[in-house]
Chains A and B, each alone.
Chain A
Amino acid sequence: AQKITQTQPGMFVQEKEAVTLDCTYDTSDPSYGLFWYKQPSSGEMIFLIYQGSYDQQNATEGRYSLNFQKARKSANLVISASQLGDSAMYFCAMREAISGGYNKLIFGAGTRLAVHP
């Protein structure tokens, strides 16, 4: 069964330091995509980064990088040089490229990140 697990309900980090948010997943589909979204208190879901299951290199987008360890079914988000504006909920999500190609995302429970000055 498809499942996303985020084991850290809350995380604290000092401004300008790096932080890693954990995400593990479970799927039997060899083709899938992994996503990270940021949700500020306003509620909007902001797309951060995407990793395809066949991508050879870890995805990077500015200060965000995805540490993809396929054998361990792990897709941790690394935020470098944290900023106060990074304080938000972070969700890991997965989509399987199942027959028919449905765009259904399975989300984890989220990690609330607080960046301290």
Chain B
Amino acid sequence: KAGVTQTPRYLIKTRGQQVTLSCSPISGHRSVSWYQQTPGQGLQFLFEYFSETQRNKGNFPGRFSGRQFSNSRSEMNVSTLELGDSALYLCASSLVAGGIYEQYFGPGTRLTVT
């Protein structure tokens, strides 16, 4: 069974631009969560989608948004990029929302904002 895939793996953008990252969960998984990892703040939860609905959102500004499609693939968008948005963005998929289930992560997208 294929794992979680994220595209692109690396991205360089200029301050003020916008960016869209993509995540395809493990087949059959319906929950997709996004995390931001930076050296200063560590791993922080961005948001979670289940059945095309955002179920939970972390403490990030409105410039960070996402969506999920009917095939469970998810995208996250960051508008008006700032230097501080440079980070590794990880998505994780889980079989269901609710209960206690393992979450499996993708390889991440490393975003550099110049």
- A-side binding surface: helix, strand, loop or mixed? loop
Q: Which of A39-93 contact B (CB under 8 A)?
A: 42-47, 50, 52-53, 91, 93
**What 0/1 pattern do residues 28 to 53 of B give for CB contact below 8 A with A?**
00010101000000110100101000
> Looking across the interface, which residue of chain B has its beta carbon closest to that of A32?
B100
Is B90 an interface residue when CB atoms closer than 8 A count as contact? yes
Query: Are the CB atoms of B106 and A44 closer together than 8 Å?
Result: yes
In B39-84, the 8 Å CB interface with A consists of: 42-43, 45, 48, 50, 55-56, 58
How many residues does chain B have at the interface if contact means C-beta atoms less than 8 Å apart?
29
Number of A interface residues, CB 8 Å? 29
Residues of B within 8 A of A95 (CB): 100, 103
Point out residues on A near B: beta carbons under 8 Å.
Answer: 31-33, 35, 37, 42-47, 50, 52-53, 91, 93, 95, 97, 100-110
Binding site for A on B (CB under 8 A): 31, 33, 35, 42-43, 45, 48, 50, 55-56, 58, 88, 90, 92, 94, 96-108, 110
